[in-house]
Amino acid sequence: MGTCGCGYTTDEQKNCNGTHKVVAAVKADIAAALAAKGQAEASEYVKTFKKEK
């Protein structure tokens, strides 16, 4: 897949291994749960958070 560009890889050589897809799915689930509980601001924060590389 090549070099990781998101910073979430679990590969020792920092190659992309698809971890970003898992992170995106979990973030979407958490954001939806927060929104359902009326926490729109927290939901938006989770959706837009970017890990520093």
Considering its fold, how many domains does the chain have in total? Answer: 1
The answer to whether 14 and 4 have CB atoms below 8 angstroms apart is yes
- 7 in a structural domain: no
Looking at residue 1, its pLDDT comes to 65
- 8 in a structural domain: no
Please give the Cα distance from 22 to 43 (Å, whole number).
18
Q: What is the pLDDT of residues 1-53, one digit of tens each?
A: 688 888 888 999 999 999 999 999 999 999 999 999 999 999 999 999 987 76
Q: What is the pLDDT of residues 14-26, one digit of tens each?
A: 999 999 999 999 9
Note down the domain range covering 41.
20-47
- 5 in a structural domain: no
- 11 in a structural domain: no
